[in-house]
Structure 1
Amino acid sequence: MDVAKTPSSAKAMIVAGVMSGTSADGVDVAICRVSVGRNGVAPVKVLGHSRFAYGKKLRAMVLAAAGGTKMSAAKLAQLSWKLGEEYAACVEKAAKEHKLKPELVAVHGQTILHDADEGMTWQIGEAAVIAERLRLPVVSDFRPADMAAGGQGAPLVPMLDWYLFRHETKNRLLLNLGGIANVTALPAGGCVDDAMAFDTGPANMVIDAVMQRLYKREYDGSGRTAARGKVLEDVVRKMRATKYFNAKPPKSCGREEFGEAFVDKLIALCEKADAEKEDIVATATALTVETIVDAYSKFCWPHLGQVAPGAKATEMFVAGGGAKNKTLMRGLAEKFGALGVKVATTESAGLAVEAKEAAAFALLGWLTWHGLPGNVPSATGAKRAVVLGKVSYGG
């Protein structure tokens, strides 16, 4: 796959990337400059980043739809149009806040279904509404093209990872801790086709669900609740036996695998062991750490060793809301440190932890606008590189 081939008509653009993840807690807008360099697309530069929380009623509707609650076609359509209005308003606010004028908008949309085994995915948020409100072209619905080509439709962030973080002598791991955790492994000196990327399992999703059930709180702040609890290692071991964790990449997941039923099982096992509430949160947090480390040991490290046996070091950069959870980050640093992997957040590389995924879709939107492929087949399992998304014109 040659990512360096760009058409002569390609130009630098200011693109607003819009991301709302599986945690369904709000919207990130990263307004970026995507340029054309001698070797193709130059690294994306984030010019401004803003985060907007969903209103309580809208979030409840999103969680109900994503959680499989029965909803009429009319209600789902209403939600999609409401989200279109929400995304448009967020881009408008971010542009005003940072005094920037986007030329293109790239919207991931809100995932309410992702079942790669059945070859289907659904992200909602009416793009025509966004295009009309902003009077700008909008690229949306990125995942189906990859799935139609035989891929998982995820992860799609590896293209940004490769452009921003590849290194000639060091292996790089890019870990994103959203609702779901996904990792990109970039072998030292490798090309984009050498990248391995996949969803490791839940990041914040299970922790958040436990907090909502036990404490009526949306999430565990900086990990203070988990820090007070005791990890039930036997429960972690039993939950790690879940089939998904041992499946080989390419693979992707969502609420279908780690939603209500998974949380029910975790809490039941903890309560059977007479756990305190904070112990359950600590156990859910440890499960995220252990499954990420397992994924690295089983899949990433063998791949890195095969492609780049002479790498000088392996470094990990963490992004996503989970990067602010100190207990989660401390667990990752300890476990990976023991494996000789240095852990830092993307902040150390100049990229805000909550801006990365939105920035990735800004890049993907730019690629689509110029007729260039945005998926990485070695990551998604697609048969070929394809142009992603659909364009709504808002002029």
Structure 2
Amino acid sequence: MNKASHATSRSSQLVQSKPMTIAGVMSGTSADGIDVAIVRIGSTGRIKLLGHRAFPYPRAVRNAILRAMENAALPVAELSLLNWRLGELYADAVEATANTLNLKPQLVGLHGQTIYHQAVAAPFLGSSTRATWQTGEASVVAERLRVPVVSDLRPADMAAGGQAAPLVPMLDYTLFRHPTRNRILLNLGGIANLTAMPAAASLEDLLAFDTGPANMVIDTLMQRLFRKKLDAYGRTAARGQILQRVLDELLRNPYFSAPPPKSCGREQFGSAYVDRLLELCGDASSLDILATTTALTASTIAAAYVRFCQPHLNQSTATDLIVSGGGARNIHLVGLLRAALEPLRVKVIDIGERGIPAEAKEAVAFALLAWLTWHQRPGNVPAATGASRPVILGKVTYA
């Protein structure tokens, strides 16, 4: 099969099936809560968002997740109990969202909470090993809602040689591919990740990767320095001055210049990273530290565009950068992105202008991936993850 016919077969995989109502459930590396999106995927492949809700984690639950994510030495019993407690919270969130919309989903796509992700192999027990772990018991969700649940969506891609991230490019391709404009889909979650698509791209033309930290480091500093959960609209960072010496040193991190495919998480940019950042800042003001950290996110995204995306795209074609995730609400951060990218003919757009709330996109993506798995169709994009082949993602828990 040649490239053109292969692209046609993959892009037509959303066709020839009965419409389904699906709940996508996402909880990201920020570990701040649960996003639920309920969508309708029609027989022609059209994805319609029916509703979206966000549910913050209870403080004790979030603290337990953060301990697990930061490689704390936790008893197996605590990890097992956390798995089941999260299952209850996921079921609560889907049930509440469905009740608000007065409908019942036919399928749930459950990302789970990532507590460990090692995409690069390292020695372990006599072998070179990689691993990814998303927790949250799918059986609890299936039993409560009495519908099948597709969960644990990342390991199949990793087993096929991929990084198991990012998995959102399938949605990016389905919803945002444009015949005459380059598109970059940027998600500002705990980690910033992007999908770059040339105009009229096939799936094989996609480039996707994690650019580095976004809300995760900003939120941690807000909690440590200001006793607040987040920097609402970026107002706090906007009051500070960038410490250029510190920013230059942070940008030397080899992750930022490493070529895709690549992915990262708290393993690289967690509490130990924040400790080192604060050491570099010395006795600088809290405002300047936060301004510098926010500039780090904008600078790494802009550098990733110039280094990796720009050569991949059609240089004679205009480019849209469509921003989603909680960080899309950080007006100061988005302003820094505009200042860096718009002189390069990149138009920065909020995803809300395209009909999807900024916080809902990843949940919508996992609803789509669940739909593909249910119909025994691949959901990964090897060009994005580095997998050796397209694979069916996840495990199905029947009601």
How many Å apart are 1:368 and its aligned residue?
Answer: 0.1
Post-superposition Cα deviations, 1:198-227, rounded to whole Å, max 9, x if no partner, equal 000001111111111111211111111101
2:322 equivalent in structure 1 = 317
What amino acid is aligned across from residue 241 of structure 1 in structure 2?
R
1:55-134 matched pairs, under 5 angstroms? 55-118=58-121, 119-134=130-145
Alignment of 1:260 onto 2:265? no
One of 151, 160, 170 as aligned partner of 2:162: 151
Alignment of 1:12 onto 2:23? no
Alignment of 1:292 onto 2:301? yes
Separation (CA, whole Å) in 1 of partners of 2:342 and 2:27: 31
Separation (CA, whole Å) in 2 of partners of 1:352 and 1:101: 21
How many Å apart are 1:4 and its aligned residue?
Answer: 3.5
Separation (CA, whole Å) in 2 of partners of 1:199 and 1:19: 17
Decide whether aligned partners of structure 1 residues 196 and 107 sit closer, same or farther in structure 2, where only a CA change above 3 A counts: same
2:339 equivalent in structure 1 = 334
Unaligned runs of 5+ in 2: 1-5, 122-129
Kindly, what percent of the aligned residue pairs are identical?
Answer: 57
Post-superposition Cα deviations, 1:294-330, rounded to whole Å, max 9, x if no partner, equal 11110011111xxx3542x100100000000111111
What amino acid is aligned across from residue 225 of structure 1 in structure 2?
T
Partner SS state of residue 80, structure 1: helix
Alignment of 1:363 onto 2:368? yes
Alignment of 1:347 onto 2:358? no
TM-score by length of 1: 0.95
Partner SS state of residue 349, structure 2: strand
Partner SS state of residue 233, structure 2: coil
How many Å apart are 1:340 and its aligned residue?
Answer: 1.2
What amino acid is aligned across from residue 359 of structure 1 in structure 2?
V
Is the CA contact (8 Å cut-off) linking 1:7 and 1:370 kept in structure 2? no
Partner SS state of residue 17, structure 1: strand
Separation (CA, whole Å) in 2 of partners of 1:29 and 1:46: 11
Q: How many residues end up aligned between the 2 structures?
A: 384
Decide whether aligned partners of structure 1 residues 195 and 43 sit closer, same or farther in structure 2, where only a CA change above 3 A counts: farther
Separation (CA, whole Å) in 2 of partners of 1:7 and 1:177: 27
What amino acid is aligned across from residue 52 of structure 1 in structure 2?
F
Separation (CA, whole Å) in 2 of partners of 1:246 and 1:335: 18
Alignment of 1:228 onto 2:251? no
1:206 equivalent in structure 2 = 217
Separation (CA, whole Å) in 2 of partners of 1:157 and 1:8: 19
Separation (CA, whole Å) in 2 of partners of 1:103 and 1:244: 41
Partner SS state of residue 3, structure 1: helix
158-167 vs 28-37, greater mean Cα deviation: 28-37
One of 273, 276, 280 as aligned partner of 2:285: 276
Alignment of 1:387 onto 2:384? no
Unaligned runs of 5+ in 1: none
What amino acid is aligned across from residue 66 of structure 1 in structure 2?
M
TM-score by length of 2: 0.94
Is the CA contact (8 Å cut-off) linking 1:173 and 1:316 kept in structure 2? yes
